[in-house]
Structure 1
Amino acid sequence: MLNLEVIIVFFLVLIRMASFIVACPLYTITGIPSLVKIGFAFTLAVLVTPLVQPPVLEFPGGPWGFGLAVLSEAGVGLALGFVCTLVFGVVRIAGALLDFQVGFAMSAVFDPISGNMNTLISRFLFFMTLVLFMNIDGHHALINALVKSYELVPLTAAGISGEITLLIIRIFADTFALAVQICAPVVAVLVITDLAMGLIGKTAPQMNIFQLGFPLKIAVGVTSLALLLPALTSVFKYIFDTLQRDLLLLLKGLA
């Protein structure tokens, strides 16, 4: 006969696992059926529950106290997934800025993965980041971090402080700063191209600069990005290291 305490611990573990999978961009790809995601969260909960130190199952207020404990575990999982979303959002923002400069912003299409309108380079960089992340077993590292979270933030022990708010703001600001740094070389080349076309338009007014500018900027932008891709591997490594650091800081703040 199953012990009631074991069932409660398993349910709380499942809440944190499921909340993380719901929020993490790596596990929210719409091509994956919902039943697979639910089964994945259930399997993780079954494997992790024996490793979790059972808390003192005393919920002040009865059902209301248990409801607060459930919300607390859901908040931990959602916070971890939200940090992953912000870090992976670096390449989306960088791609969107590049698309705007190159001229692909008008070709925005609906991305079923994110549920938003995304442009070509933004989707390309995001998929490339996912491939590299899984190639280095980053998805296993995320699961390991989720398991280790029970050591830093035990069940029903999470708390919110001012440090968490400052950390989220700092991660949000770093996301935009790093995105601008990634796209800065290509944007600089495109700005020089705009200046060159402006000088050509002044010296040769008979040339249709607007008609020449669109294909030229696309060619220059795509070529510059292709030349920059080998150097981006170190940037992606920094992004993955930043993800691990931010998750650790978040867990320490929640503890």
Structure 2
Amino acid sequence: MLFTSADINTWIGSFFWPFTRIAAMLAIAPIFGARMVPVRIRLITALLLTWLVVPLLPPAPALDPLSAAGALVTAQQFVIGLAIGFSLQIIFATLVIAGQTVAMGMGLGFAQMVDPQNGINVPVIGQYYVVIATLLFLALNGHLALIHMLVDSFQSLPVAVESLSREEFLSIAHWGVRMFADAIMVALPAVTSILLVNVAFGVVSRSAPQLNIFGVGFPVTLTLGFVVLVFAISSLLPQMQHLMDGALSAVSLFGSGVR
């Protein structure tokens, strides 16, 4: 049997370019890209997913992976993978911002813990939201939706030489802008309750100046914050579903310009 260099380059590219996109997605995606997940596990998972996905993909372009055009295709697959993982990572960043907002209102802004997802220090309330979001993400089969979304991306954005348009990047940027608005919606019940308590203590301090407002207000605000968090946890599920739907919509738009 005779094989030409074009055939060999096509075989290499048909596995290497999908692997680049999948590996880039796993490096930044929630749970898969956590600091506590070893690099070897992510590498093995990327190789396994590539091996399963390659038979379902359209033919790869007949390009030399080491050529200038091949390097451009590799860079595009890397960016696409990062964009898919980043769209889901914004969900957890939204909840971290919501936890920081609530913690500052409760007076727990100084209490921080290490976030195992990103390896950084976040307020305790933010870590609480991250843990709940991780459990809800797994319960809602978010990890399976992420893999399904990745496989569908090879249909909307096949491996090709065409460059990505500005609209594809804007779709992810617009989804990132919603992060702050959604964080306020998640933290709104606790923040509103704490604000009403602070207003009430302000009225009390004006009517009774001899009262030590700091000695009384901090325990009450802290206790009320925890009580509100317990009652507000029931509303976190629909908010999590809303965030996941927004992430899936953002990724579906990423690629609409080159279909």
The interval holding the TM-score normalised by the smaller chain is over 0.9
Q: Between 208-217 and 165-174, report the one with greater CA deviation.
A: 165-174
Partner letter of residue 31 of structure 1? Answer: M
SS in 1 for 2:31: helix
Q: Which amino acid aligns with 1:251?
A: G
* Unmatched runs of 5 consecutive residues or more in structure 1: none
Inter-partner Cα distance in structure 2 for 1:26 and 1:62: 32
1:164 aligns with 2:157: no
SS in 1 for 2:110: helix
State the Cα distance separating 1:58 from its structure 2 match: 3.2
Q: 2:52 maps to which residue?
A: 47
SS in 2 for 1:109: strand
C-alpha change, 1:157 and 1:134, in structure 2 (3 Å) is farther
SS in structure 2 of the partner of residue 118 of structure 1: strand
User: Aligned pair 1:240/2:223, yes or no?
Assistant: no
Amino acid at match of 1:124: Y
Q: Which residue of 2 aligns with 1:82?
A: 86
1:28 is matched with 33
Could you say which residue in structure 1 is the equivalent of 2:194?
Answer: 190
Per-residue deviation, 1:110? 3.1
Q: 2:254 is paired with a residue of what secondary structure?
A: helix
Q: CA deviation at 1:90?
A: 1.5
- Residue 157 (structure 1) shift: 4.8
**Contact kept in structure 2, 1:73 and 1:158, CA below 8 Å:** no
Distance (whole Å) between structure 1 residues aligned to residue 162 and residue 140 of structure 2: 30
AA aligned to 2:155 is E
* C-alpha contact (below 8 Å) 2:83/2:172 kept by paired residues: no
Equivalent residues in 2 for 1:95-106, closer than 5 Å: 95-106=99-110
Which residue number corresponds to residue 109 of structure 1? 113
C-alpha spacing 1:127/1:62, structure 2 compared with 1 (3 Å): closer
Residues in 1 aligned to 2:238 and 2:76: alpha-carbon distance in whole angstroms: 36
1:14 partner SS = helix
**Aligned match of 1:225:** 229
**Unaligned regions of 5+ residues in structure 2, if any?**
none
Matched, 1:214 2:218: yes
The partner residue of 1:155 within 150, 153, 159 is 159
Which whole-Å CA distance do the structure 1 matches of 2:205 and 2:66 have between them?
76
Alignment deviations for residues 176-222 of structure 1 (CA, whole Å, 9 cap, x no partner): 11111111121111111111111222222222111112111111111
Give, in angstroms, the shift of residue 154 of structure 1: 0.7
Q: Secondary structure at the match of 1:31?
A: coil
Q: 1:18 to 1:62 in 2, by over 3 A?
A: closer
TM-score scaled to structure 2, two decimals? Answer: 0.91
Give the letter for the 1:229 counterpart. I
TM-score normalised by structure 1 residue count: 0.92
Segments of 4+ in structure 1 off by > 4 A?
none
- Report the AA paired with residue 111 of structure 1: D
Give distance in 2, aligned partners of 1:225 and 1:122.
12
State the AA in 2 paired with 1:129: A
Residue 177 of structure 1 corresponds to: 181
Deviation at 1:81, TM superposition (A): 1.1
CA shift, 1:253, in A, is 4.0
Report the CA distance between 1:166 and its aligned residue.
2.8
CA RMSD in angstroms comes to 2.0
Alignment-mate amino acid for residue 11 of structure 1: F
* Residue number among 197, 202, 205 corresponding to 2:206 in the alignment: 202
**Which whole-Å CA distance do the structure 1 matches of 2:162 and 2:237 have between them?**
36
- Name which of 46, 71, 75 aligns with 2:75: 71
Aligned residue pairs total 254
